[in-house]
Structure 1
Amino acid sequence: MTTNIAYHSNDPNTGLSQTKDNEKYKMYISDTGIFITLAFKDKGVTENVTYNKLLNDKLSANLGYVYENMIAQMLRASEKQLFYHTIPINNSKKYYEIDFLITDTHKISPTKIKSSGYRTHASLDAFCDKYSDRIQNKYILRT
């Protein structure tokens, strides 16, 4: 119970577990406090000044992964299973990614976590273009 696993949905639709890819997954730490300690552990002990700067929004770091971990923890606490989806970009090794897929009535709601300073949401746009008939709501959570 120390990790939350988000599985890739190969064909996102209601019943996400039916299209779960057991070979593709992302792992999140169940305790965001431990995650932060590990993420900023440059030596034997993470100093309190790091936590103070983080809490006061004075830490100059991309915290998107921290917020993504927090959302994963919140979704699991509300008894939701974690799923995500990727779409290849022009047959390259790059891809668009939807961080979380949430079942919403008889459709799905894609959720994207963005760090501050973002200007576009190409992943969400590509997902909505491809699966428009399956979408109930779309969410962007911005830090």
Structure 2
Amino acid sequence: MLGINYNKIASNSVGYKSEFEMQSMDFEEFLWAKGYGQDLLDELLEHMRNSTPLNQATMNVMNELFLDYCILGGMPKVVSTYIEQKKFQGTLQLQKELIEDYKEDIKKYVKGIDKTKVLNVFNNIPVQLAKENKKFQISKVAKGAKFKDYWGCIEWLNDSGIINICQCLHTPDLPLKGNYEDDKYKVYFKDTGLLIASLDEESQEDLRANKNMNVYKGALEL
């Protein structure tokens, strides 16, 4: 989150530096970490490109691994702990610690807008995904909350790499941005594991024990 602390940067040496955006591991990187080779990944990609089915045995394995990835997310320490122990034990505690670290960073680095409002938005993400209407509603974040007072908080979280904003479209035509419905959008944590770690204990247990992605009224359903 240090990258969002713009006011600390004295100058920008144009042409003398390269920028890289670091994110949590994606599914491909998760498979690498699990020891799967590039040949298999290339085969999976080829099937996707050609819209051809995998054989049932491979499909079963990949589906199981993808469910594990959704529950764990892609934070390196969480993934390495899972791989070393070959079970979920200990990963939830790491995820909860990361969530608390995010909250502490918000308190430390937010400048120019109300830190409490940013935290309110952050804490409301799993709450709003549990509702029948999963559209993010600023009016539900706090009593009397208005768009003009809170949109900057959502943008800050998006710029910091914590969340994804999923816009509703008038029509699914290119360019997609030209078809956004500005007042209809969902907000997710960028890392699925951290989203799941923020749910209530019963939902977490159902996910980890039974891999039931239909909890939270289908908000996490694949």
Short-chain TM bin = 0.3 to 0.5
More strand by share: 1
Normalising by the residue count of structure 1, what TM-score does the alignment of the two structures yield? 0.34
Structure ID, larger Rg: 2
Normalising by the residue count of structure 2, what TM-score does the alignment of the two structures yield? 0.23
More helix by share: 2
